Amino acid sequence: MRQWSFEVDGAPPKKDDIHFSCEPQGFAGSCLVGAHEIQPGKKYLQRLLLDGPFSLKSPGIYHIRAKMEQAIKREGSNQLPANLSVESEFDLTLRVPREGELEAAYRPFLNDLNDPDFEIRYFAATAIAQHPPMFVESALTKIVDNPGTTIANIVIASIVGLGRLATPGARTKLIQMSSAGSEEFRQPAIAALGGIGNPADCEAMLDIASKNQLYTQGEAYIFAARLCRERAVPVVTGLLANADNQLSIYLATALGNTSARSAMAPLIDLLGHSDKFVRRAADESLATLTHRHSQYGVATVESAEKSHLEWSNWFAANAETAILYDTSQCAEPKPLQ
């Protein structure tokens, strides 16, 4: 297994990472699995996509540290592979392109989208989708319009690229993909559309949620809550009465994404739910909205009852004046007072 990680001095954090709540988020690196044979005296060259939790969108000189753990083994040997640590440092200069220069730089990647080799096509798609300029929209749209003609990972990379483009045409295409077709592509399309965050897509996302099921439905309602804010509250709360425990967890999380005062009362009510995971989702959403938490928690029915009472009393005193937050303003919650 080869796993590269990059650190960039002076680069701001990437802003297109989406969190559903203020709970700590895990980080998954990208890796390539497989073995490559290298003959004595020969070299193996690999193109790498410079990516990580940083943003390289502004001109400047950036110092980059690249690290990799590589397992190596001699052919025919019974010995266990040896782990080799590889490190490299270099400077990267970004500048504003001259006229026609950006198009020329992207042309080889656009050509590689038609290469018979999967790895070359996939690398090209992910490279184009990383910071897509407007002129690649037609190429990305062509891929998602014909998902059966290529590998799923390439379609998904193109969906991500359309989400980063965020043009009216890209949003329309993502709405179409979120509403029909394979769930394999509906899920990333919903995430891409929700990540754009355009309130004009509120009604479309609510409609998408109503047409999907299970995780895809729950995720769509969470994104709809972000897009619709206050308008999503009556839709979400209207579903709670007949929702199973799994959907209730998603709906509780969705309420925490509305930044709406009207979401507080139904969330407090959910602290009395019979399922501890629904109670926990409601508790996390209340912490997201208010940056506060009950001293009792919700692990047991008894503690949840005390938490429900404490939250009810706090909300009765602070319903009109409490400052509410969203998931971009996470902070360690303070005890209710």
pLDDT tens for 56-99 read: 888 999 999 998 877 777 776 777 777 778 888 999 999 999 99
Tell me, what's the pLDDT at 29? 36
pLDDT at 16 over 90: no
Q: Is residue 211 part of a domain?
A: no
Kindly tell me the number of DSSP H helices and DSSP E strands found in the chain: 13, 5
Amino acid in position 202: C
Q: Is residue 118 part of a domain?
A: yes
256 and 174 housed in the same domain? no
Range of the domain at 285: 218-337
**Where residue 143 falls among pLDDT bands split at 50, 70, 90?**
very high
Residue 175 DSSP one-character state: H
**Contact status, residue 177 vs residue 186, Cβ threshold 8 Å:** yes
89 and 107 housed in the same domain? no
Q: What is the rounded average pLDDT of the residues 290-315?
A: 96
3 and 85 housed in the same domain? yes
**Contact status, residue 180 vs residue 144, Cβ threshold 8 Å:** no
243 and 299 housed in the same domain? yes
Tell me, what's the pLDDT at 26? 38
225 and 254 housed in the same domain? yes
127 and 184 housed in the same domain? yes
Out of 38, 64, 96, pick the residue that ends a domain.
96
**Where residue 149 falls among pLDDT bands split at 50, 70, 90?**
confident
Q: Is residue 208 part of a domain?
A: no
C-alpha–C-alpha distance, residues 315 and 268, integer Å: 9
Q: Is residue 207 part of a domain?
A: no
Q: Is residue 151 part of a domain?
A: yes
Residue 272 DSSP one-character state: T
Q: Is residue 320 part of a domain?
A: yes
Out of 132, 166, 196, pick the residue that ends a domain.
196
267 and 286 housed in the same domain? yes
Q: Is residue 212 part of a domain?
A: no
β-bridge partners, 271:
none
230 and 314 housed in the same domain? yes
C-alpha–C-alpha distance, residues 267 and 289, integer Å: 10
120 and 172 housed in the same domain? yes
224 and 337 housed in the same domain? yes
Tell me, what's the pLDDT at 274? 95
123 and 183 housed in the same domain? yes
231 and 264 housed in the same domain? yes
pLDDT at 31 over 60: no
Residue located via tokens 């110092």: 63
Out of 42, 73, 96, pick the residue that ends a domain.
96
How many domains are contained in the chain? 3
**Helix residue ranges, H only, the chain:** 101-112, 118-130, 137-145, 152-165, 168-179, 183-196, 202-211, 214-228, 232-240, 245-255, 264-270, 276-290, 301-318
